[in-house]
Structures are given as structure tokens and as C-alpha cells.
Structure 1
Amino acid sequence: MRHLFLFFFFTLTLQAQFRINGIVKESASNKALAFASITTNNGINSISDVDGKFEIISSKPITFFYVSYIGYNKTKIDILNNNRFFNIKLVQNTAKLNEVVVATQNAANTIIKKTIALKDTNNPEKKLANFAFKTYNKLIVSANPDSISGKIDSIIVKKTKEGIYFKIDSANYKFKNTVNKRHLFQTEKVSQFQFSNNKLKETILGAKMAGLKQPLYEIIAFNLQSFSIYDSKYELFETKYNSPIAQDALKDYNYKLLDTVAVNGRNAYMIYFKNKKKSKAKGLEGILYIDQNNFAVAKAIMRIRGLLDISGTHEFEYLANENLWFPTHKNFRIIKGQNDDDINFLGGTIQFDGDMENDFSSRKKQPSDYIFLRSESHIFDFEKNTNNTLKNPSFAVAIEKNAFNKEESFWDTYRKDNFDIRNQKTYSALDSIAVRKKIAHRVQLGKKVINGYLPIGFFDMDLRKLFSYNNYEGFRLGLGGITNERLSKYFRMEGYYAYGTKDGIFKGSIGAAAKIDSEANSWLGISYTDDVREIASTSFTIEKKPFKIYDPRPINISTFYNYVSWKSYFETKKIPKTESIWELNHSEIQPKFDYTFSNNNKLYTNYTMTTAMVSLQWSPFSDFMQTPTGQIEIEKRFPKFTFQYTQSLGRLWNNDFDFSKFDFKTEYEKKYLNGQKTSLLFQAGYALGDIPLTHLYNTSPNNITKETIIQRITFGGKNSFETMFFNEFFSNKYALFQFKHAFNRVTLFKKVKPSLVLVSRMAWGNLNHPEQHLGLNFKTLDRGFFESGIELNQIFNGLGLTAFYRYGPNQLPKFEDNIAIKLSYVLNLGF
């Protein structure tokens, strides 16, 4: 949604009575020293970050501070002449360094082993049966104006004897001027957290987003870092890493004891950890402060450095009565790392330009190089053993109905950090911009367009119905849509009308539904349809088809059947983490190709089907949010499971056949921080009874019967068998598996950056009584079908090329007949 949210950018300037910052380096090599200890005269303890930088803010004057690092001489720094930035260089103590390093590594491993062994004792979610607390969170996107070099504000025009002449670089000047006055984007949130029965639920009491009176639920619920430091998988910016205190952590991390420090008056070990893998994007590094008495985590700093530089800090308070460290503060920050490609995330809320303009020259720094996201959460009003029962525990997040309409007094009560003039101007400026540019309307419009609808008054036009093409209908032109909430929130009408230029026949559908449960988004409806459908295609009714300007695979299909059906249905999300549709259907079927079904000594060229069907999608690992307008999947996790069961209803309404169908699908996706992605798909179907070919399985072929490879070049599909010919195989039971791995885009030339995807597919199946199906010549999948290939997508302006090879028992005699070359096209709408 990049173009919809270009106004979501912004800065953080912390103001206090006293602030110092600087960088710690090694004297000999001038390299930055990460996690050096800094202790001020007034008792503040801090450390340098991964880049050796540090910042200390204090309400009391700081006159001097110490900097220490294991293996180096401790240094005292006096603050003179109002100096606020310090370039500190530590001298290595070579006499003791080697023995110290060995000793601290051994000691660190021992401490970590004890910490792991006592995890359940020190984990609040294990030690306490239930608890509750509130949080105040503020998220900003900004750029510190002090860090932006003045050099980007001007450009040298010419040099003369009289001097150097400059002109203002207006774009960068405006950016710096903007962040001097306000942040680029800002949200606030107050939540009530409850833990019971091993579940943590968030109820949002108040939410506020600059520029939008109705905040975007997806951003409000965005989970940037794990709540618990004790989880075996630690999550940082939607990527899970093996925790440095997981049971098997010592195989993934190296540990080093840096120092012993005081945290909240208790002595703690300061342990540095770093993943053993060479790639920085494959693991975490950071600091754990381990209580010397109970071996609990008293503070933690987690960081990854790759395409993005991401850090998360966890601070705790020691509860003496419980001998427990409980979270009090979380901090999360993202800045740009080293990357060649442009990066955007949070729907385009943050955008970072690539480092390279071409293969040979570095580009000039842009404003996006200075932009960062910072989120701070303050935890307060902690209560233990509350014995509160969670309401609707299947929802990870719930939003109170009046959460977006809180008075300013509400925010004044809960704000836990400094809310300065820049914060105030962020709201007023972005709210004004939003009204002037009708941002709220554009956001809602964009969300509907992404889902394939264009709002026109009280009617949302379905963009998928406007235009398509297939070999049977030719160009299919149509118009359709659904009424929206402007007409009614509790009633809807939907339908479409279409015409095929090749078959010369009009098709259409009309239906109506009423909402009977707002909380579960339950609808009861009825519809009438007269249309055509591909034979033997597998369709899961519950699945929402993604919006595409075009769908490439149907272009090649020529075998369809006509169905005239009356349908009543009930759709609901009542079952936790599940969407389902329950349906009764009566259809008159007419194959539009030469086909006869022989059953019980009777030949059928058309037939009647009356069926009951339930289609269900279960997402057990995803997190869901209950909003005032319905339910939203806020964090999609895999695997997901889709089930569908269809049963014919005896002789009800002249039903001709008795049969049952069981369909199943599961999907898994793994996204990596470096931009790569692995996708797995398993799908199976089993049909029992007397079923004509039109309602069996074809396992989604996508190859046409032409003599040469060039003649067979068409557009590739998403999950289709590219080397399998249409109507080549049919089954009443089958199973298929697909593996895909997408690599980062590869820069071949300045504007040629293809996305490489490796694909492998396989399928097995069989067909009982193939002699019943007359009119088509086909085979069965009892020996299996195998193909593998590569996709080079988005080679130029969205256009790509794919190539697949067919092998195994069903390989064809001619080598060239086993090869399929297809075009691919990815249309970037900027959303």
C-alpha cells in the first residue's frame, strides 16, 4: 500500500535536562567497540551499541563518566566546557587479554547454562498463574535533524576566485525543515494485558494515529518484538530467531562475559552473545544482564544487522516478594542497513532507498537514510494473581468500541514519556494534511481496490468481472459488484452479468444476504447463478481469491460445463481462528464438450446435482484481532489448513448421483529477513461414489497441445503444472506437493533485476472405473507426475520468463515435448 501511506514518515528528539553522546573505539585499529560499559558519576549505567555509539540522558548533571571494556584499560572522561559529544579511544591491555578472553568465555557459558536451567523459575508466565498490567506505547517514524549533514542542504554550482557558489537542494532542505518541526508519523496506544491459562491477551483501551480518525488496525496491532525474553523463539520484526537462552542456544551462539554491573541495586553479569553463523541476518547478537543471585534476565538488548538495522531492548523491575524480574519497558528501533534494493514495509510507512544507483557508483545520501522507526512501551499497574477469566481468549487482540474517540484528558493521564511540541505538531499537521488531501477516503479506497473492488456510492464494483479471456468464451466482458456499508451494514446484494464474445452467451448471478451476528461476521444468504466453469477443477469455496488484473491460466482452457444453480449459504467466523461456509446447492449441469457419463446402464449427457457442502479454513497459529467492525487476521502464521466436504443428498430435488468428496489443503511459508522466501503446498482430494468427469480432479494442468515449444508459449500460472497438458489426466483421488524458493532479486543491468524462483511439483492419483467416462481420451496419475523448473519474474517492467521440465514415469518420448516455456507478468499497482 505504498502510495496510500506516503504521509507516514517521522523523527524522535528526546529532550531532558542533560544529555551526552559519543562513540567508543579501539585506539590501535580505530574500530568501534560494541557494548562498552559507561558509568556516570550520578549512578547511570549504559553501554555502547553495536556500532560503538552511546547516548545518556539524565535529569541530574553529569560531571564525569567511566568507560570500560574487558581487555582494555578503564578510562575516566571529564566533561568540560559544555562538551556533549565524545570520541573515546580505549587502549588494549595486551598482557591480560588472552587469558581474560578464555576465562570470560568459559564463565559466560556456565552462567548461560544456569540461566537456561532456571528459565521456568524466572519466567513470569511460568511462575505466576495469572497477572495483568497496562501499557502505554508511542510509535514514531522520524529522522533526527541534528544527524543530517548540512552538505545535503546545498549543491555547489561553481567555484571562482571570489568564492564558491551554492544553491539550495530543495527536496532535502524541505525534509530537514519538516523534521525540525514535527515527526513524520506518530501513533499512541494504551492497552490492558491479561495473562491466564498460558495465554496473553491485549485489549486496546485507546488508540490514536496521526492523520486518521479511524486508525489502521493492521498498524495498531503490529507486533515488533516478543513480550517475553524467555520464549524459545525470540521474535524481532516478524522474524523468529532461536533465543540466546533457548534449550539448545549454545549450539547457535558464542558468549562472552564483559563485566559485572548493578541493575536496580542488584549485581548482574553482563554477557555478550553473537550467533555463530557468518551471515548477520541469520541470528541475533546483543547483551544479557543476568542476575548473579537467581540467574534471571534483568535486562536484555537484542539486535540484528543486515538489510535493516533492528534493535530491541527489554528492561525489568525486581519484585522482591516474588524474587522475580518483571518487564517494565520495551524499546524497538529500525534504521537503514546496507542494501542495494529499495526497501519498504508497514505498508510503505517506512521506505529506504537502495545504496547503489548502478553497478559501479555509489549514490548520494537521501533523506530516507536518516529515517528511523522507534517504538517505546511503558508497563505499569502490574497486578498478580488476579484470577480474571479471559473473555474470548482465541483473540490475541481486542479493541474497545470507543477506543478511537478518547478525550485529550485520557492521553494526559496515561502518557509515560515526554510529549513535547514536536509530538503535538505531528498530530495537528498530519490531521490537517489528511483533511486537505482526503487521506481517510483514499486509504479506504485503496484497501478496497487491493481486494478487487472500486467503490461507487453505495455499490462496490467488482474489478475481476470487467474483463477476462479463455478459449471457450473468448473475451468475457462483464459488470458486477456488491452493495457496501453506505447502503446497509446488515444487508447486502451482489451479482454480475457477463457476455462471451466467442460462445455468444450471456451469464450472470444475483444474490442477497443478511448479517445475523456482527461479532462473528455471520451472514445468511441465497443466490441464483447461470454460468460456466472449468471441468474437474478444484475450488475451495472458503478461499478468498486474490485480486488480479488478469488470471493467466484460464486463457488456455477450452473445456467447460454450464451450471444453473440455486444456492443458500451460511458463512461465519464463530469457531475460533476459523472461517467457514455451509451451503445447500441445487444445480443443472450441461457439459460444453463431447462427453457422456455411463452409470447404472444409463447414459448422461446432462444431469442434476443436489449437494450439501461445508468449506472451512483453520489458521491455528495466526493471531486475530476483534475490532468494532469484525475480525481481522493481524499476524498470518503457517501452516494453514483448508478442509472441504461435499455430500450429495439422495434423491432430493431430482438428484441423479450418490457421492461424497473430501478435499484438503495445507500451506506453509517461511520468510527470511534477507528477502528470500520458501513456500510449501500439499493438496489432496478423494471422491467416492458415482461422479461425472466434470466434478472429478484434473490437478490444474497448464500446457496446450501444440507441436513446438514456441507454439506452446503462453502465460504461466501460480500453482499449476506447466508441462501437463489440458485434459491429459483425471482422478477421483489424488495428492500433490509443491516446493518453491524465491531468492533475492539479481541485478543484471541497471533496470533488469529478475527475481529467481526454484520450483518443483509432483502429483499422484488414480481413477476408479475410467470406462464410465466417454468422449475424452485421458490417462491416470497412478505412476505419478513430476516437473521442476525456474522462474525469472519481473525481468523488465513486470514481464518475466519461466521454464519447466517434465521427468519421471510420465515423461514423453520426445525431449522437446517435456519442456514448457512460459511468460509471467507481475503488475505493480503501487499498493
Structure 2
Amino acid sequence: MKRILILLLLVLLPVLTIGQTKAGGIVYDDAGSPIPFANVVFAGSTEGTITNEDGRFYIQSDATYTGLKVSFVGFQSKEVALPQKVNYDLKITLGEETESLSEVVIYTGKQSKKNNPAIDILRKIWENKRSNGLSNVKQYQYDKYEKVEFDLNTIDSALINSKIFNKMEFIFDQMDTSRITGKTYLPIFINERSSKVYGDNILGKEKEELEGNRNSGFSTNQTLIAFIQELYNEFNIYDNYLKFFDKSFVSPLSTTGIDTYNYVLADSTFIKDKWCYNIIYYPRRSNELTFKGDFWVNDTTWAIKEINLQVNKSANINWVKEIYIEQEYDVLNDSVFLITRDYFLSDFSLRKKEGSRGIYGKRTTLYDNYTFDKKLDEKVYDERVSKYDEDVYTKGDDFWEEKRLEPLSKDEKGVYVMLDSLKKVPKFQRLYDAGAVLVSGYYEWDKANLDIGPVFSALGFNDVEGLRVRLGARTYFDQNDPWRLEGFGAYGFKDDKFKFGISGKILLDNKARLIVSGGYRQDIEQIAASLTTSTDVLGRNLASSSLVTVGNNDQLTSLKLANFAIEAEFLKNLIIRSDMSYRTLKSASPTFNLDYFTDFSQTEIASEVKQTELVLSAIFEPGKRTSGYGVERTTSNEWFPTLFLGYTKGVEGLFNSDFDYEKLQFSYRQPWRMGGLGTFSSTIEAGKTFGEVPLGLLSVIPGNQNLFSIYGTFPQLNYYEFVTDTYATLHLEHNFGGRLFGKIPLLKKLNLREIIGFRGAWGEISNENQLINASNIRYIAPDSKPYYEYSFGVGNILKILRIDFNFRGNYLEVPDARKFGVTGALEFSF
């Protein structure tokens, strides 16, 4: 009975909606062909939309209207009566405006760049964009309210009656209809955020002070909140490229927009006593990261008053079927237009077909109470929030009634109650647990406050251990834990040996982020897969336990490592760390050795290295954002550089340590967004060891004998192929994002992405370090000429797979040199 009532509610919902006007349909020409990008507005208003590539439209308003006005340059405008509040499946035909065909351009295709009044207006926008907005004042403050909601969309009877929602049918009581797409949807999550923003354009600094945050069911989960913030990061409509979902979309206001979009001057009218022009724009080419839509621009300040953007459906972007953006601006200070409202809707879906089901992500941001030229002490901007303030995440209803700049709808209010009820349903809890494992890699054992995993490290294989099984766990009370213990146990069925590791860390001071850590590990590792020696006791090397490799993977090392470290972050994103470690290294395989001579006469040989090291290192990651305030934090963004500088001192004699030496290492990694050209990654590493050391302590150019593409390694190098004590490496990779394949007719619809890569290495090894080697194998270093590789890759295969074709550039005469290879990786990206 309850299912029938919900189904009836779904059927009757459109006609029971009060105080709204809804309309949808298709606009045709006289020949019966759909008209794309036609302008559709409620008669007597500026509320409107444009038709999509198939001539379809959907429009909705909270106000009551009795008609639509449909216009298209080169055609006669037409008013259509709306006899009901809800009018679907309208078929509207526009006749050609024959009397003025010689005076206007019909924009069914590419528009002329010359003598186009819309482009003349666009140039005025470029000239004046820096005199509009917050950059025109010295200091500023404003209130900011943000609401993010996720909705399950395209609700039908089949979904309501599906087994997955058995005993959870009550959630469908909150269904509504989207004013943008006309689809039914069910709100399933809502997050509200209220903050105060301070900025100083002279200092070039800005700070956002969070005053309150709450969401339905997960109010104190800062990691989830940070994920939402990064998913819907802010952007400036006047920038050449708008960056979200890890993509760079060409803005319709871009200075390169003339080559990317068609522009048509469609209308002009008063909007709140300001005369404005209406310009429609749409992309010149398909498959590019572009929009379609229209905007209203003021005729004196040439500032945007209103704009809407809808991503082109053929754009090369995964998992997102629709993106729709609205922004509104108002005159708030001396004719300066400032944003007052920003609405962002995205439809996440596995498929882009019209009827496919997905999830709406909706963000509404409101801005109010602007204050200008109020100077604050510079210290205000440099202060960091170092402790978790529970009060911020548990504000009461009175706070939100005051801070909300627009009220919640009845359905939005219901989400808070619905999700609290849903969390008590055992079936929902099981689904939630399964999802958490896929996202985090850990199974949450709540009763014991333990996370079991990572589950993806449970199985591995190498020539020494054979099949390897691994089980790990870590303490987890919440994401602000001031201390954490972690450990693992592993067993190899071929070598019949047990391996284990345990570590602990504690946060002693929140403000300076002073952390003390220590641990011990006894394991098998491929130490030739990384130039920078990890001080992470529980670090797991993919090269030592991959399921599939190329050639023999027997050059493994039996490692015992004890480490103690102190680190601090006195300045934001600058971590200074000091380590003291003791490790022993010996070969784990009879076909590989780390033997070295212990005397000048080369008569005594040792097979095990015992070494004590003191390490001082610094990591600087400007622009990095994190969530949580505990001993471990989660990184919530990725487009920032990483600089590493390390100094290592080997101390002979301390705890029977064998060698005295020094090592300097430096690395710099920078990902770059290249606008319409895609993304680019670059990494430089360099290092030098001073003193005589055996193979286990030298710097090996990292090879990769896996079938997985691992950035930072050389896929055509075997392990230990190049051994150095002085080195420099370069890694470059560019992903065009489908810009080239999108121009090839047969490949266009596949949305493939082309990737090119280049890798180079130079290094040398001293005679002293050659002579200490007792393995009867002379080390080779790429000193006479740098070694290099290059690769061509195809990404986004079936949206999840990347394949790289790798070529060795030189040193082809080296025994067992691999001239060509194929590697792959699973990539889940937008």
C-alpha cells in the first residue's frame, strides 16, 4: 500500500505543485527541424533558458506566468500561452523572418567575427573587467552562505520498487522536480556552511573564517566536507578558463572566446533600472570543454549582470552528464558589480543517455553585507586554525535561521530527518560500509575503533616470496585522533617467512604541529624502485609485491628498519623533519647479492649492511589544503607543487654502523593546468653521495618491471640497470585531454585522451664505489650521455583504462635492454 501511495505521489506531484510555473518541449523551424540555442523566456520577465542541441528546453519559476516568448535571430518571435501551471511536451514552430533576412545573420552555424555587435560588446567587457569586482577596492569583507545538496534523480516506479530500497521506501517522501532539467529527484544529502571572508588586495591575502557547518547525518566529518569544497571550488567568470572537476573550460568571456564560441546579440532591456544587452553564445566545435548559454551585460560599466552556462553535452568529461551554472551580480558600491548569487548544478551519471539515472550535485552560494576599505592587521590573515572546534560543526537552529541568506525548502528540511532515520536501517549501514571500503581502502571495525586494511594490499607476488598475503590495521577513533598506532603482518608461501611492522605517532602540539613518531619493520623490499629513501616504517613498495611483472623480480632486499622521528610545521605547508634510523640490508635471493669488500686488499667480504643514519629534511607544498586536525590529515586538493630537500649523515660505529658518508637530495614536482591544451606534470630530482658506500646505500635509477604505469620510474629500465652516487632525473608528461583525438571523425565519439611522456636520467659513480663492489658485476652509470625514454599513451579507454607505449631511446646495446614495452593503469578521472 505504501509503495502505491508513493507511486501516486510521483504521478500527481507535478499538478499538485502550487505557486510554480513549469514548461518544457521542443522548438522547430518550418521544415520540422529542431532549432538549437533558441531563446525561451517567460513572457514579461527575464527568466529564461535556451534550447539544447536537439531543440529541447525546460524552464521553471517560483512565480506564476501565463505565457512563453520564444525567439531566434532570423526567425519570427512567438508567444505561446501556458494554460496550466505545468506544461510539458510543448511543440513550438518558428517561421522565418523573411522581410529581414538581408539584415540579420541566422545563427544555425558559425557566426562571422567581423561586423558582429556581440563581439564589439565582448571587447568592451575585456577592457573593463578589472574595474569590476573586488579587485577594485583595497580591502573587503562579506558574509558567505553556501548550500550543497546531492539528489538521486530520474526517479521512476522501477527504482522505487527495486529490492535495494526494501525497508527504506520512506525516503521517497522527499521527492521534487528540478527547475533546470524537469526531472524528478530525491534529496539524499545536504551541507550548509556559513563563513566570513576577509581580503586585502594590497597585501594580496584572503582568509575565510568558518562560523558554522552542518550536514545531514555526517555533521562532524571534515574529510567529507573538504571533499565537497574541492568538488565545487570557486571560480571567476572573467577568467579565460574556468577550472572545476579537474578540467579547464573556456569561459564565454575569455579573450580567446572569439575563436571558441559563436556570439549573437539577441535582446536588450532594463534590469533593475540598468539597461542591459543579452548575448547568446554557443561553441564553434564539439568535443571541446565549452559552454552554451547567454548573459546580460550592463551598457555603461560593461559588467555582467546575469549569466548562465551549460556544458556542451559532447564535451570530453567523464561521469558528468550535465553542468549548469547561474550567476547574478548587483551594483553594490560606486557602480561596481559584485556577485550576489552563484548556482551550480551537475548531473553525475555513468552514462550520458537522456533517460539514464544519476545524482545531482547542487551548490548555491549567496554573498551579502559587503564592507570595503576596512584595514585589518596582517596577522589576521596568517593565523591558522590548528584545533578542531566542535562548536562550529554543532550550531543550533537559531544560528542557521539567522545566517541563512535564503530559507530551506520543505524537502531540504526533510533531508535532515530522513537521513537520521535512514542510518538506523541495517541494510543502509551495510551499503554505507561497502562504499567506505571502496573509497578509503579500509574496513571500519567500529566496536574496536580499528580500520582493517588497506584491502588493496592484501595480495601480492614476487620471485622470492611467491604468493604474498598481507593483513594490516590501524587505530581510528575519529579523524582528529591525536595519536595513532598501525601495524601489519605478511606471509610469503614460497620463502615460508613471516614479515611484520608496527608504528606509532603522537601529536604533541597543535599549533606547531609537533609530531613524534617511531616504529620497526622487518620485510622484503625492492630498494631500486625509488631514488628518495623512505623513512616511512610501514611504506609498501609496489615493485616488491606486484601480481604481474616483466622479467625476473628476484633482486629483492631483506630489510630490518627501526626509525624515530620528530617533525614540525611552524609555517603553513612547510614541514621540517629530523630522523634517526637503523637498518640492516641483505639479499633476499640467492641469485642477487649486496656483497662488498671490507678491506683495501679486497680479501674480506660482507653480505650484510648495518647502517645508522641521521636525516634532516624539509618538504614545502605551497597551496596544499588539508582536512582534519589530528596527527594525520587528509589532503583535499592536488594542484600544488612539492619541493623536497634532504640531508643524510651516515654515522660509522654508532650501534655498530658500517659506513660514514653524507648525502644531499632534492626534488621538485609541479602539476600544471594548461587551459585548453590539457594538463602537464614535471618532476626534477637530483642527489649526490659523498664517501664510499656499497650497493645497498647507492642511488639506483628507478626501473619499473611492472606492467603498471608508475610515474617517477623508467618503464624500460630493469632494476639495478644504472647505479650512481651522483644523479639527476627529469620526468615530463602532458595529457592533451582529447584535444587531438576530438578532431578525428572516427575517434571523436570515443572521448579518448592522448598522452605523451619524456624521461631522462644522468648519473655517474666514483671509482671508489666501483672498487668496493664485490659482486663481480661492474656498475653502469649514464655518464657519457644521458639515458632517455619517451612514450605515447591513450587514456580514458572505457573511461577507466590508460595504456602507455614506451620506447627506450638509447643504451640499446646493454644486455637484456628492453627497447619497447606496454604498461597500463586504472584511472578514474573526470
TM-score for the superposition, normalised by structure 2? 0.77
The answer to whether structure 1 residue 115 and structure 2 residue 125 are counterparts is: yes
Deviations 1:234-281 (A, max 9, x none): 2344422343334554444443322212222201122233444x2343
Q: Distance in 2 between matches of 1:694 and 1:677?
A: 37
Superposition deviation, residue 741 in structure 1:
4.9
Correspondence for 1:273: 281
Q: For each residue in 1:119-158, what CA deviation from the matched residue of structure 2 results, as whole angstroms up to 9, or x when unmatched? A: 221122343422222214242414366xx6x9x799xxxx
- The 8 Å contact of residues 619 and 637 in structure 1, kept in 2 or not, is answered as no
Task: Specify which of 640, 643, 646 is matched with residue 644 of structure 1.
Answer: 646
Picking from 191, 194, 203, the partner of 1:191 is: 194
The answer on whether the counterparts of 1:469 and 1:554 sit within 8 Å (CA) in structure 2 is no
SS in structure 2 of the partner of residue 403 of structure 1: helix
The amino acid across from 1:313 in the alignment is E
Counterpart CA distance in 2 for 1:303 and 1:761 is 39
Give the counterpart letter for 2:304 in structure 1.
Answer: V
What is residue 248 of structure 2 aligned with on the other side? 240
Matches of residues 237-386 of structure 1 in structure 2 within 5 Å? 237-276=245-284, 278-306=285-313, 308-319=321-332, 321-335=333-347, 350-353=348-351, 355=353, 368=357, 372-386=360-374
Distance 1:401 1:610, change over 3 A: same
Contact 2:28 2:91 in 1 (8 A): no
Alpha-carbon offset, residue 294 of structure 1: 1.0
Structure 1 residues 44-83: aligned runs within 5 Å:
44-50=46-52, 53-59=57-63, 61-64=64-67, 66-80=69-83
Distance in 2 between residues matched to 1:790 and 1:798, nearest whole Å: 17
Contact 1:202 1:397 in 2 (8 A): no
1:221 to 229, 232, 243: 229
Query: C-alpha offsets along residues 723-748 of structure 1, whole Å, 9 cap, x if unaligned?
Result: 323332211213142537598899x9
TM-score using structure 1 length: 0.77
Cα offsets for 1:738-794 (capped at 9, x unmatched):
537598899x9xxx9999976654433222223443323332112233445567899
Contact 1:400 1:628 in 2 (8 A): no
Letter in 1 for 2:781: T
Distance 1:824 1:63 in 2: 58
CA drift at 1:668: 2.8
CA positional deviation for 1:69: 3.7
* Kept after mapping to 2: 8 A contact 1:22/1:54: yes
- Following superposition, the deviation at residue 292 of structure 1 comes to 0.5
Deviates more, 1:76-85 or 1:438-447: 438-447
Determine the structure 1 residue equivalent to 2:546. Answer: 551
Which residue of the partner structure matches residue 534 of structure 1? 526
The CA deviation at 1:405 is 1.9
User: 1:289 & 1:334 partners in 2: Cα distance?
Assistant: 23
Name 2:614's counterpart in structure 1. Answer: 612
Instruction: State the partner residue of 1:737.
Output: 731
Q: 1:807 to 1:826 in 2, by over 3 A?
A: same
- 1:523 pairs with 2:518: no
3-state SS, counterpart of residue 125 of structure 2: helix
Q: Is the 8 Å Cα contact of residues 648 and 657 (structure 1) preserved in structure 2?
A: yes
Which shows bigger deviation, 307-316 or 556-565?
A: 556-565
Q: Which residue of 1 aligns with 2:692?
A: 690
In 2, the alpha carbon distance for the partners of 1:98 and 1:768 equals 81
**Residue 530 and residue 741 in structure 1: after superposition, are their counterparts in 2 closer, same or farther (change >3 A)?**
same
Name the counterpart of 1:662: 665
Is contact 2:266-2:278 (8 Å) kept? Answer: yes
Residue matched to 2:782: 781
Deviating more after overlay: 117-126 vs 625-634: 625-634
Cα 1:611–1:540, aligned 2, differ >3 Å: closer, same or farther?
closer
Change (3 A) 1:797 1:489: closer
The whole-number CA distance in structure 1 between the counterparts of 2:270 and 2:795 is 55
In the aligned structure 2, how far is the partner of 1:170 from the partner of 1:651?
A: 68
Mean Cα displacement is larger for which, 454-463 or 307-316? 454-463
Cα deviation 1:592-627 (Å, max 9, x = unaligned): 615215787787735553332244444334444466
Local SS of the residue matching 1:773: coil
**1:693-741: per-residue Cα shift (whole Å, max 9, x none)?**
21222222245xxxxxxxxxx7445244343233322112131425375
C-alpha separation in 1, matches of 2:434 and 2:114 = 59
- What corresponds to 1:25 in structure 2? 27
Shift of 1:559: 3.3
From the superposition, tell whether residues 687 and 421 of structure 1 become closer, same or farther in structure 2 (CA, over 3 Å).
Answer: same
Deviations 1:511-530 (A, max 9, x none): 44322134665421233445
Give 1:129's aligned residue: 139
Give the superposition deviation at 1:381. Answer: 3.0
Q: Determine the C-alpha separation between the residues in 1 that align with 2:814 and 2:535.
A: 41
Deviations 1:488-546 (A, max 9, x none): 94344444455555556655444443221346654212334455543444245378968
- The change in CA–CA distance for 1:53 and 1:547 in structure 2 (over 3 A counts) is farther
Q: Name the CA shift for 1:315/1:702 in 2 (closer, same or farther; >3 Å).
A: closer
Q: 138, 153, 174: which is aligned to 1:143? A: 153
- Cα pair distance change 1:735/1:206, threshold 3 Å: same
Contact preservation (8 Å) 2:515, 2:631: no
Superposition deviation, residue 660 in structure 1: 1.7
Q: 1:794 to 1:695 in 2, by over 3 A?
A: farther
Report if the CA contact (8 A) 1:205-1:400 is conserved: no
Task: Report if the CA contact (8 A) 2:672-2:681 is conserved.
Answer: yes
What runs of 5+ residues in structure 1 fail to find an aligned partner? 1-9, 155-167, 336-349, 356-364, 704-713
Q: Deviations over 1:312-358 (max 9, x none)?
A: 11101212x421111111111223xxxxxxxxxxxxxx433464xxx
Helix, strand or coil for the counterpart of 1:687? Answer: strand
Q: CA deviation at 1:311?
A: 1.5
Q: Which moved more, 1:479-488 or 1:207-216?
A: 479-488
* Count of aligned pairs: 758
Distance (Å, rounded) in 2 between the aligned partners of 1:546 and 1:533: 8
Task: Say whether the 8 Å CA contact 2:141–2:198 is kept in structure 1.
Answer: yes
Describe the shift of the 1:796–1:74 C-alpha distance in structure 2 as closer, same or farther (beyond 3 A). Answer: closer
CA distance in structure 2 between the aligned counterparts of 1:690 and 1:462, rounded to whole angstroms: 40
Give runs of aligned pairs for residues 695-714 of structure 1, distance below 5 A. 695-703=697-705
Conserved 8 A contact 1:191-1:202: no
Given residue 737 of structure 1, which amino acid in structure 2 is its aligned partner?
A: H
Q: Name the CA shift for 1:819/1:765 in 2 (closer, same or farther; >3 Å).
A: same
The 1-side partners of 2:780 and 2:559 are apart by 26
Q: Which residue of 1 aligns with 2:95?
A: 91
Deviation at 1:564, TM superposition (A): 4.6
Counterpart contact for 2:508–2:515, Cα < 8 Å: yes
Secondary structure class of the residue paired with 1:409: helix
- Does the residue aligned with 2:357 lie in a helix, a strand or coil? helix
Per mean C-alpha deviation after superposition, the further-off stretch among 226-235 and 438-447 is 438-447
Q: Which structure ranks higher in relative contact order (CA pairs < 8 Å, sequence separation ≥ 6)?
A: 1
- Inter-partner Cα distance in structure 2 for 1:92 and 1:546: 69
Change in Cα spacing, 1:445 to 1:520, as seen in structure 2 (3 Å) is: farther
CA distance 1:432–1:80, shift in 2 (3 Å):
closer
| Cα distance in 2, alignment partners of residues 194 and 817 from structure 1 | 58
1:430 aligns with 2:438: no
Residue 115 of structure 1: SS of its match in structure 2? helix
Q: Distance in 1 between matches of 2:468 and 2:159?
A: 55
